[in-house]
Amino acid sequence: MFDRRLVQYFDWGLMGLAILIGCVGLITLYSAVTAETPAPQKVLFFKQLLWFSVGLIAMVSAFLFNYKILDRWAQPIYFGCIALLLAVLFFGKYVGGSRRWLIIGPVSLQPSELVKIAVIIALARYYSKDAKTSGYTLRELVRPFMIIMLPVLLIGMQPDLGTAGLVVLIAGSITVFVKIERRSFIYLIGSGAVVVPLIWFFLKEYQKQRILTFLDPDRDPLGAGYHIIQSKIAIGSGMLSGKGFLKGTQNALSFLPEEHTDFIFSVLAEEWGFLGSVTLVLLFLILIIWGLNVAHACREPFGTILAVGVTAMIFWQALINIGMSMGLLPVVGVPLPFVSYGGSSVLTTAISIGLLLNVSMRRFMLD
């Protein structure tokens, strides 16, 4: 019953890589929460440690079964996550102007994190059915469009525009990967070029201001613009070899907002310098190429698309989070996988790695 080859083909390298990134993340988080003012919040570190153990279990569970049954489970998983998103809108905890968390006993869960995986599975199922090299026409894209927009709207209503945008990016990457038919693609681009200025025209002045500030944080020197400056100072002041573990000063002064979530990269870059930050960036790059390699080695479409989707998720989060910290991209609350504090994020990333391992270790199986 148990196939020996499963062990033989197990991707130890991928798991090792994930654990390595997790360790870098924990060390950085420790530094961030220790320096937190006015009072250190070490409890966050231990909570994260707990979430990593939960994540480990989730990762193992995600590769034990044959991923192909996800093809059948795609719908229940998808609608289960939609139900959670609806629950958030009605019963979610209200923090700082939005509802993002569901409180279940002692645990607070962010369903918008989990929904990313559900969307990836649902799209993998749809796109793996009868893909053609000519790509998908507009008519064929109506269903995936609905699959994507339902959770995006629900997340947008929380409102959590960062995560909603992230879902669009991930789903868009998968769709571009399976190819959009050339003429349809031109239509899409063309209609986008018409609709976007039209929407802009109908926006209210303050909404325009908000979007402009989002694109150019310098317009908000007391808010996002200031955070970016502080983040850049933190990163830059790390210089080549960094100030040393727990020696960061920008971090210590709570000049960095959300330093244990959104701006965690700055903490690492300040304390470990160029050497440290390049290491983390390269680890992520290796992880992404590894993930694409898993997709490459897989010999059937569902597994390939699943692997590409999960990798795209990690890619976009790493790119946006690190790019934002360095002032390359707008300020959005996107967690750095395995590094930022947050149970749901750790859980989601762990499941993704588990799915990659799953696809990887069953690459020999041909039905």
Partner 1 sequence: MVPHRSQTLMDKYLKTADTDWYKQRITGVIVCALAAFVVLLIRLIVLQVIMGDEYRHLSLNNSIRLQSIDPPRGRLYDRNGDLLVDNRPSFDVNITLKDAAPLDPTLDKLALHLKTPADTLLSQIKQTRGVSAYSPLLLQQDVGRDTLASIEVNKFDLPGVSVNVNLRRHYIRERQAAHLIGYLSEISPAELKSGSYPDCRSGDLIGKFGAEKVYENSLRGKRGGRQVEVNANGLVVRILKTVAAEPGHNVYLTIDQNLQHRAEALLEGVVGAAVAVEPATGKILTLASSPAFDQNSFVGGITREQWKSLISNPFRPMSNRAIQGEYPPGSTYKIITALAGLQEGVIDDKTVLHCPGHYRFGNRIYRCWKRGGHGKVDIIKAVEESCDVFFYQVGQRLGVDRLAWYAKAFGLGSPTGVHLDHEAHGLIPTAAWKKRRTGVPWQKGETLSIAIGQGFNLATPIQMAVLAAAVANGGHRYRPLILDNIKLVDGQSLQKNEPKLIGKLPVSPAHLELVKLGLWKVVNGENGTARGSRLADIDISGKTGTSQVISRKQDESMAEEDLPVHLRSHAWFVAYAPSEKPTIAVAVVIEHGEHGSGAAAPIAKEMIKAFLRKTPVNAQVAAQKESADTANGG
- Residues lying near partner 1 in the complex (CB under 8 A) are found at 37-39, 97, 130-134, 177-179, 221-222, 225-226, 229-230, 232-240, 249-250, 253-255, 269-270, 273-274, 277-278, 281, 284-285, 288-289, 292, 295-296, 299-301, 304, 308, 315, 319, 322-323, 326, 328
Question: Do 364 and 66 meet the contact criterion of CB atoms below 8 Å apart?
Answer: no
Smallest gap, in angstroms, from Cβ of residue 300 to partner 1?
7
Distance of CA 61 to the CA centre of its chain: 20
What is the spatial distance between Cα 103 and Cα 93, in angstroms, rounded to a whole number?
7
Residue 70 or 252: the one with the smaller Cβ distance to partner 1 is 252
Residue 89 or 253: the one with the smaller Cβ distance to partner 1 is 253
Smallest gap, in angstroms, from Cβ of residue 27 to partner 1?
19
Smallest gap, in angstroms, from Cβ of residue 295 to partner 1?
6
What is the spatial distance between Cα 29 and Cα 27, in angstroms, rounded to a whole number?
5
Q: Could you give the dihedral angle defined by the CA atoms of residues 150, 151, 153 and 158, in that order, rounded to the nearest 10 degrees?
A: 150
Smallest gap, in angstroms, from Cβ of residue 2 to partner 1?
27
For CA atoms 315, 321, 323, 324, give the dihedral sign.
positive
Residue 14 or 58: the one with the smaller Cβ distance to partner 1 is 14
Q: Does residue 93 sit in helix, strand or coil?
A: strand
Smallest gap, in angstroms, from Cβ of residue 186 to partner 1?
16
Residue 130 or 205: the one with the smaller Cβ distance to partner 1 is 130
**3-class DSSP string for 9-21:** CCCHHHHHHHHHH
Residue 66 or 237: the one with the smaller Cβ distance to partner 1 is 237
Residue 151 or 276: the one with the smaller Cβ distance to partner 1 is 276
Smallest gap, in angstroms, from Cβ of residue 96 to partner 1?
9
Angle at which helix 111-127 crosses helix 70-91, to 10 degrees, equals 150
Residue 323: closest CA among 250, 175, 248, 217: 217
